[in-house]
Amino acid sequence: MRDEHPTRAAAAGTGPWAGGDIPLAARSGRQMAAAARLFLDSLDDGQRASIWYPDLGSSDRTKWSNLPPVASPRPGTHIGDLGEGQRVLLQDLLRASTSSQGYHKLTGAIRAEEVLHHQRDRRGIFSPAYYYTTIYGSPGDENWAWMLTGHHMTVIFTVAGDRTGFTPMFTGAQPLQIPDGVYAGWQVLPKDAARAGDLLAALSGEQQRVAVIGETAPDDVLAGPGREASLKSYQGIAAAQLDAAQQRLLWLLVEEFVGNAEADAAEAQLALVKDGWPETYFAWIGPPPDPTTRYYFRVHGPRILIEYNVEVPTAIDGGHVHGITRDPANDYGMDWLGLHYQEPHPRPG
């Protein structure tokens, strides 16, 4: 399948290369396929039966959650049941799918589970081992996908020809910031909230009255698992109502989340966001950002939905946050694949 926007994989850049196409061999879909085949080849029969779903349309491809796996079981096999060599190959696959910043954010969320385990895990439900992986379809075929999902991180990559989709992508952390010890102050998501705080501070008083849509942060991101269609209308302030400097801050915020994917996938998505830029809105709920307060923000447009919610402020045990990035028109690559899906709403069991 040929990319219907062949230059979009590089169009976000500037300079003598602007408008040029990233070679097919360097695109994420090709590199992911090679890494996924090596990973699949390393599995024994039992592991392969659990991890590999030949049918790309399997309903298990939408089964993810931000609950611990003991409360919301995942498909596939968890990292703890893989051998060390297999874990290396899985990390190779994740690196092939993400940017440097995305890779470190996502693996940081997994490493934070170990901190959480030592903080409060009396029942043994939090562990970096409890992240589950699955592969759908055959890597290298025109269409296939893979998923890695656990308590505070879920990534779902879909390949359709030479295009790679990466939504929904759940980026959370507990703790967000390591509260003590030699790594005190280290954060899983170092800029996600800071970008939004910069934009909020740059708004005039009149603009803030439009952008701030509530006083108390919600209990969770609103379009979390099973609630993908919960936000039907835009709220807050539109990009068209911002001056050039403020729009630049909004764009940096979008890049902070979309840029977690590998370059060709991220740049293609950014081009779609740019197409709907005047209809892209920024909304805030709660007080200005502070280590002691809860707050929430959202970016919402025709081809982007970003949410970030402070569940617990960083001043309390390092904090607890949930973030999500969606494409309202193409989550799971369903528009490309011509498929329909129902995303189950996980419930504690």
Rounded CA separation 319/341 (Å): 34
**Within this chain, do residues 29 and 137 fall inside the same structural domain, yes or no?**
yes
**Within this chain, do residues 43 and 156 fall inside the same structural domain, yes or no?**
yes
Alpha helices in 137-228 (DSSP H): 192-202, 205-211
How many angstroms separate the Cα of 150 from the Cα of each of 27, 70, 142, 171?
26, 10, 27, 11
**Within this chain, do residues 197 and 328 fall inside the same structural domain, yes or no?**
yes
**Within this chain, do residues 141 and 222 fall inside the same structural domain, yes or no?**
no
Category of 283 on φ-ψ map: left (φ > 0), alpha (ψ -120 to 50) or beta: beta
Report yes or no on 8 lying in a domain.
Answer: no
Contact call for residues 56 and 337 (beta carbons, < 8 A): yes
24 against 92, higher pLDDT:
92
223-250 tens-digit pLDDT = 999 898 899 899 999 999 999 999 999 9
**Within this chain, do residues 206 and 129 fall inside the same structural domain, yes or no?**
no
Task: Quote the strand ranges of 250-326, DSSP E.
Answer: 281-285, 296-301, 304-312, 320-326
How many angstroms separate the Cα of 128 from the Cα of each of 157, 200, 250?
21, 34, 33
Report yes or no on 348 lying in a domain.
Answer: no
- Give the structural domain span for 124: 24-168
**Domain endpoint, select from 153, 168, 183:** 168
pLDDT score, position 120: 81
Side chain identity, residue 345: H
pLDDT score, position 82: 98
322-332 tens-digit pLDDT = 999 999 999 99
pLDDT score, position 206: 98
Contact call for residues 110 and 80 (beta carbons, < 8 A): no
- Range name among 5-9, 66-70, 197-201 with the lowest pLDDT average: 5-9
Retrieve residue 177's tokens. 């910031």
∠ Cα 54 157 143 (to 5°): 45
Check whether 1 has a pLDDT greater than 90. no
**Within this chain, do residues 222 and 112 fall inside the same structural domain, yes or no?**
no
Report yes or no on 343 lying in a domain.
Answer: no
102-128 tens-digit pLDDT = 999 999 999 999 999 888 877 788 999
Report yes or no on 175 lying in a domain.
Answer: no
Assign 183 to helix, strand or coil: coil
Report yes or no on 349 lying in a domain.
Answer: no
pLDDT score, position 340: 81
pLDDT score, position 207: 98
Q: CA nearest 291: which of 179, 126, 160, 143? A: 179
Assign 17 to helix, strand or coil: coil
State how many domains the chain has.
2
Q: Is the peptide bond before 289 cis (omega within 30 degrees of 0)?
A: no
**Confidence category of residue 23, pLDDT binned at 50, 70, 90:** confident
Rounded CA separation 36/89 (Å): 8
Give the helix/strand (H/E) hosting 76: none
**Within this chain, do residues 218 and 95 fall inside the same structural domain, yes or no?**
no
**Within this chain, do residues 34 and 160 fall inside the same structural domain, yes or no?**
yes
**Within this chain, do residues 164 and 196 fall inside the same structural domain, yes or no?**
no
Rounded CA separation 1/98 (Å): 22
Instruction: Report the DSSP beta bridge partners of residue 78.
Output: 132
**Confidence category of residue 293, pLDDT binned at 50, 70, 90:** very high
Q: Tell me which residue has tokens 């904090």.
A: 319
pLDDT score, position 7: 34
Residues in contact with 205: Cβ distance below 8 Å, sequence separation at least 6, in sequence order:
none
Retrieve residue 220's tokens. 């969770």
∠ Cα 199 111 34 (to 5°): 90
**Within this chain, do residues 120 and 45 fall inside the same structural domain, yes or no?**
yes
Report yes or no on 345 lying in a domain.
Answer: no
**Within this chain, do residues 137 and 214 fall inside the same structural domain, yes or no?**
no
Contact call for residues 34 and 46 (beta carbons, < 8 A): no
Retrieve residue 186's tokens. 């280290």
**Confidence category of residue 349, pLDDT binned at 50, 70, 90:** very low
Report yes or no on 292 lying in a domain.
Answer: yes
pLDDT exceeding 90 applies to what percent of the chain?
A: 83
**Within this chain, do residues 45 and 119 fall inside the same structural domain, yes or no?**
yes
